[in-house]
A = this chain, B = another copy of it.
Amino acid sequence: MRMGAHLEKLKSRIQELRDLSGVLGLCTWDQETYLPERAHPARAEQMGTLQGLYHERLVDDRVGEWVAGAEAEGLDDDGRAMVRVFIWERDRARRVPGDLVRALALAQSAGVTAWRQAREEKSFTGFAPSLERLLSLRREQADALGHDGQRYDALLEGYEPGMRVARLSPVLDALALELAPRAAKWADAGEAVPPWRGRRFPDAAQWRFTLRLLRDMGFDFAAGRQDRSIHPFTGGTHPLDVRLTTKVDEGNPFPALFGSLHEGGHGLYEQGFQPRDFRTPLAAAPSMGLHESQSRLWENLVGRSRAFWRHYYPLLRHELPEALGDVPEEAFFAQVNRVSRSLVRTEADEVTYNLHIVLRYHLELRLLSGDLTVADLPEAWKERMQALLGVTPRNDVEGVLQDIHWAWGEFGYFPTYALGNLYAASLFAAARRALGHLDDELGRGELLPLRDWLRENVHQLGYRLNAEELVRRATGQGLQDRDFIGYLDEKFGAGRG
C-alpha cells in the first residue's frame, strides 16, 4: 500500500520528535551518571533548547493539517493507533499557554530549592509559599487542559491516561481499609536487626550478581546496559538502547539487589516493544502505573518470593561468603520480607507501601480542591499517618517533607505507584494461571517463561490500549485489589495466623 502524502509528512515529523525525545533521554541519563559536576548548568541549557524545539515542532500548525489529511487519506489500525496517541500528546501541549509553561518551570525549580532548604531547617514553614505557588499554577494548568469539574483528573491524565478520580478513589479507599489492619497484625515479626549488620558486601561481587540476575531475567545487554546513579532510574534513547541504573551500598545488599530487579522490570518493558513501532509513540507504555507494574512485579512478586530465593540464595551466599556464609536462607528471607509500620515511603514493605500512597493521594485531592490549606498540611499528614499506619513523625523531614514530588509540582503522580502494585499482582496471578508451574520455574532460576508471558501480554502491545484495558485483556479483570490482597494473605497471613 502506498503511503498517503500527508501521512508520510506526519510520520516523518513523528519520527523526528521521537529522535529528539530519545536524545533528551540520553541527556538525562548522562546527567545522572557521568556528567562532570560543573557542567550541570550547561546541560540544563542544552536540554532547554531541545525541549523548546520539541514543543515548537509538536504544536506546529502544519502538523494539524497533516493529521487531518492523513485521516482523510484513510489509516490502517496501526496508523489510527499512532495518530490517536500522537494527538493526545499534541492537544495537551497546545492547550497550555507558553507563559504558564515557563511559570511552571520557574516554580518547579524554586520549589526544589525551597524544599531542600526546608529539609535542612527541619521545618515545613519555609517551603509553604513555594508549594502554594505550585498548587495555584497546577490548578491553572488543570483548567487549561480541561476536566469535568474534577481538576485532579486533568493532572492524573498526564501520568495515567484514562484513569479518573471517580474510578480510582473507591479502589484505593477499599484498599486502605484492607491493608491497615493487616499491617498492624503482621508488623514487627522476627528480628529487627539483620544478622549481617556491620559486615561488608564488596561492591564488585554485588555488581556481578545484579548483572547475573538481569541476564537471567532476559535483559538484553546488546540493547541496553546498567550503570550507577545516586537515584536509580531506567532511561535510554530507544527500545534497543535501554539504560538501567542502580546503586551499591557495601553495608547493605538490598539496594543493589532489589534496585536492579526493579529497574530490570522497567527495562524489559522498554526492550519488549515491537520493531514495527520503533520511532512512533506506540513504542511506549500506556501509563506510569503499568510501567511500574513491571518493576514491582520483578522486585516484589518475583524478587521477594520463596521460590526465587530457593534458587538464588545459595548463589548469592557463594558470591558473598564473608557476609552471608553463616546466615541461613530462612533468616535472609525473613529480612527480605520484614513488615514494619514505618514513617518513610521509600523504605516501606509490600504491605504498608500502598498506605503511604493512599495518604498522599487523599492529601493531594484536598489540596487541589482547596479543601485543605497548605498551612494545615503538616498537621493533616501527621493525623493521617497515625490513622493509617499508627505512627507519627517527630518532624517534617520524617513527614510531609520526605518526598521530592510535591516540590517538583507533581500532583497526580503518587497513585501510579499503587496502581503499579495492584496491576503487578493481577498480572502475576494471570501468568501463574497461564504458565501452570511458575513457582517451580522460579525455584530453578528459570525466569524467561515469565518474561515471555509479559512480553506477549503486556510489552509488545505498546500503547495500543490504555492501561486498564490492557490489564483486562491480559487478566480478564480491570483495576481491582483482590489479587493483591490474596497475594499478601497467602504470603504473610498463612504462617503468622
Using CB atoms and an 8 Å cutoff, list the residues of chain A in contact with chain B.
15-16, 19-20, 22-23, 26-27, 30, 34-39, 41-43, 45-46, 48-50, 52-53, 220-225, 227, 237-238, 240-242, 278-279
Contacts and interface: CB of A to CB of B under 8 A. Distances in A.
Contacts of A52: 16
A22 B36 contact: no
B20 A241 contact: no
8 contacts: A20-B50, A23-B23, A30-B30, A35-B241, A36-B223, A36-B224, A43-B237, A43-B238
A46 B237 contact: yes
Given A42-B238, A46-B238, A53-B53, 14 more contacts: A19-B45, A19-B48, A19-B50, A20-B49, A22-B42, A23-B23, A23-B46, A26-B26, A35-B241, A36-B221, A37-B223, A39-B223, A41-B240, A43-B237
B237 A38 contact: no
Nearest to A29: B30
A52 to B, nearest CB: 8
Do most interface residues of chain A lie in helix, strand or loop, or is the interface mixed?
helix
Contacts of A53: 16, 53
B39 A238 contact: yes
Contacts of A241: 35-36, 39, 42-43
A441 to B, nearest CB: 27
A48 B237 CA distance: 14
Contacts of A223: 36-39
B237 A42 contact: yes
Contacts of A23: 23, 27, 46, 49-50
A421 B273 CA distance: 51
Contacts of A224: 36
Nearest to A57: B53
A46 B22 contact: yes
A26 B42 CA distance: 13
A223 B40 CA distance: 10
Contact of A240 (B30, B38, B242): B38
B278 A42 contact: yes
Contact of A237 (B22, B39, B278): B39
A42 B222 CA distance: 13
A320 to B, nearest CB: 22
Contacts of A22: 42, 46
B222 A36 contact: yes
A279 B45 contact: yes
B36 A240 contact: yes
A461 to B, nearest CB: 21
Contacts of A45: 15, 19, 279
Contact of A49 (B15, B34, B220): B15
Given A36-B240, A42-B237, A26 B30 contact: yes
Given A42-B278, A49-B19, A225 B36 contact: yes
A299 B406 CA distance: 52
A411 to B, nearest CB: 31
Nearest to A20: B49
A387 to B, nearest CB: 48
Nearest to A223: B38
A37 B221 CA distance: 8
A158 to B, nearest CB: 25
Contacts of A222: 36-38
Given A23-B23, A222-B37, A222-B38, A16 B49 contact: yes
A13 B242 CA distance: 32
A222 B238 CA distance: 29
A361 B278 CA distance: 44
A457 to B, nearest CB: 24
A413 to B, nearest CB: 27
Nearest to A33: B34
Contacts of A238: 39, 42-43, 46
Contacts of A50: 19-20, 23
A22 B35 CA distance: 13
Contacts of A15: 45, 49
Contacts of A41: 240
A50 B30 CA distance: 18
Nearest to A278: B42
A68 B124 CA distance: 54
